[in-house]
Structure formats: structure tokens, C-alpha cells
Amino acid sequence: MRRNTYLLMALLSAGLMACHNEPAFKVEGTVSGAADKMLYLEHTSLEGIVKVDSVKLDESGTFHFSGARPDSPDFYRLRLDNQVINFSVDSTETVTVKADNSGFATAYQVEGSENNQKIKELVLLQANLQEQVNKLGQSGLPAGVAQDSLFSLVNAYKDQVKRNYIFAAPNKAYAYFALFQQLNGYMIFDPLTSKEDVKCFAAVATSLNNLYPHADRSRNLYNMVIKGMKNTRTPQVKDVTLPADKIQEASIIDIELKDLNGKTHRLTDLKGKVVLIDFTAYSSAASGARNLALRELYNKYASQGLVIYQISLDADEHFWKTAADNLPWICVRDPQGPYSTYLNLYGVTQLPTAFLVNRNNELSLRVGEKTNMEEAIKNLL
């Protein structure tokens, strides 16, 4: 009996030692001028930001975190207040970060891998672009001139990043990071409707799929590319063809989705109103300008009976809620994202796409590039 007890204890001890000796990566360094502040280590997962660990900094500012070795390149960030430092982890490396409370997100030093040096370069480039866009917004230029300047800035940025980071090394973590950079909360590279941008996603997806075929990020990126290729190869549908079984009791294909507060909104409940159905993705670069234009229409005609029913196809629910929080119209989200059944039922092949519904709840018009949306709305009102 005693021998069995010793054997059991030995096995248990060996198991505990094995748990403590699992491969791990380390993140360490110093943050000066941040005594008594909380520093967080967070995982940038496909589902969102997840807290991993935290520490209250002392006068020395030293910190040390560790985490389980990822099976494929993964992304983490250090957060101090609302400032973040992004970095990637490939295996069991040690990432060393030196930063200051002032300029934490841009003036830091990072050691440990080429990927993290390149990620910092991308962060600085994006910060410079954001600064230029902010200045443009305060320039007082006419809307058309400002929009042309904005497109020029963004296109020049994309060309630089494509050439030096994405196509130069599509198998690197920093190339993946570059794909998902944002400007004013919207993705700079459009994986759904831009043929040129889809090529960037495809280059990285191919490399990741070859190296890490079973990784969640590889599969997710591959699915995005398939959808983007389908969108950009399929000609835009000009006419609306409704399945007969869907219009026997109503003159419209009903849409039933939930808003930010979980309330369900149905198109058929809006009979008696003129409804603008807007399929969109807030993460697209064009979304901000589009919503400004929609707000002008809404402010003019909501009192006369105009309703905007805006359907988000964004994958990130938290991002959608943040972006839609201050919009005055009905904002719903389809959790199926680019695989939404409603996209197929309405023949939507690119985002954004809009339709107009008359007061009898009948689908009246697909809004095209040459459509004068305001005149169409006024006619239906």
C-alpha cells in the first residue's frame, strides 16, 4: 500500500512539473513614468480582444508576462490606459519592450523578432496617415476636393504597404497585420469588394495556408478571400428577381434582424413608410462618407416618412455596436456576415448596396451608381 502511495505521488509530481514546463513565450521590459498604473497583456483573437494578464507598475516600471506557445503566429498587445502596443508571437521567443507613459503607443522600442520591428513600422505609417487625414478634415476644403485628396492619401498608403510589407513577404506575421489596419475605425484594405485588395488577402492566405493549414486564422483568411473573389468576379445584378414563394403574402422579402439592444426589427412592420434598405460594412473605407450622406437624407426626410433600415455585415460585433451607436436610424446586424442568406435573396454582390421600398411595402428600386437617391426618395414620399 505504501509503495502504491509513493508511486501515485511520484506520478502526480511528474504531471505537475510537466504542466509548469509547457512551452511558453515571454513579454518583458519597462514602462517609465507610469507608476501605479495598470499594464494589461491582451490577446487579439478572431473573436475580439481577450485579457490575458495584468500588473500594477511600480516606480521601476518593470513587467514580465508569459503565455502558452501558439501553434501558429498569433497577435497580442500591451495596453496602458487607452494606448496599445501591438506585437506578434511565433513560438517561444522573448519579446522585450521599452516604453514611456508619454507616447506609449508609438515611441516604444521592441526587440525579439523582425515581425515586431515591421509591425512598429506599420503602426507609425498608419499614425502618420491618420494625422494627415485629420488635418484634411479640418482644412475647410470643399467636400469633393477633400474626398479626392482622401482617396489619394489612402491609395498612396496602400501602394506603399502592398509593395514593402504584403507582397514583399506574404508569409510573415506583419503582412497579415497590415491587412487589418484601420483608418477612422474602418479597414484600409477592403477584402469584400476591391479586386486589387482581394489579391493582397489572397497572397497572405496562400502563404499561411501552406505553412499552417489547420490554424483558425488561415481558414478565416481563406474564407474571406473566397468571398472576395466571388464578389469581384460576379457582374453586378441590375434587376431584382424575387423568388415566387417569398412574395405570396407580401410584396417584399422580409428581413428579421436584431439591433444593438437585441430588439427585433422586421421590414414588413414598416408598411406605410418609405424604406431605404442599406446593406453595408462599417469596416469598409467608404462607410464613413456614405453614412454622412445618409444622415443628410435622413435629417431632411425622416419627418415625411423616410426610414433607413441599415444591415451590417461586419464580422466584429463589438466594432459594429461602437460604429452604429450614434446613428439615428434602424441599425441591425446579420451575424452570418458575408454568408448572409439575405445577400443571396436580394442579389447583393457588392457592398454597399441599397434598395428603396415604397409605402405599400413593395420593393421599388435598386439604387445604382447613376441613381439620384434623393430624387427617388422624394418621388416615393
Q: Which residues pair with 357 in a beta bridge?
A: 275, 363
278 touches 354 (CB < 8 A): yes
Could you count the other beta carbons within 10 Å of the beta carbon of residue 125?
17
Residue 226 scores a pLDDT above 50? yes
Q: Residues 358, 363, 365, 366: is their CA dihedral positive or negative? A: positive
pLDDT in tens, 276-291: 999 998 887 778 888 8
Give the amino acid at 33.
G
Question: 324 or 173, which is more confident?
Answer: 173
pLDDT in tens, 242-300: 444 443 333 578 889 999 999 999 998 999 999 999 999 888 777 888 888 899 899 99
Task: Please state the pTM of the whole predicted model.
Answer: 0.59
Task: Categorize the per-residue pLDDT at 341 as very low, low, confident or very high, splitting at 50, 70 and 90.
Answer: confident
Long-range pairs of 338-341 with CB within 8 A, sequence gap ≥ 24: 338/192, 338/224, 338/227, 338/313, 339/227, 340/311, 340/313
Q: Kindly state the percentage of the chain with pLDDT values over 90.
A: 43
Closest CA to 193 of 318, 280, 256: 280
Contacts of 180 (CB under 8 A, 6+ apart): 187, 189
Question: 240 or 187, which is more confident?
Answer: 187
pLDDT in tens, 77-136: 999 999 999 999 988 889 999 999 999 999 999 987 899 999 999 999 999 999 998 888
| Mean model confidence pLDDT for the chain | 84
pLDDT in tens, 302-323: 999 999 999 998 888 888 888 8
The H-assigned helical ranges of the chain are: 2-20, 114-137, 143-161, 173-179, 195-211, 216-233, 287-301, 317-324, 341-345, 373-380
Residue 13 scores a pLDDT above 70? no
Residue 339 scores a pLDDT above 50? yes
What is the pLDDT, as a whole number, of residue 80? 96
pLDDT in tens, 63-80: 999 999 898 999 999 999
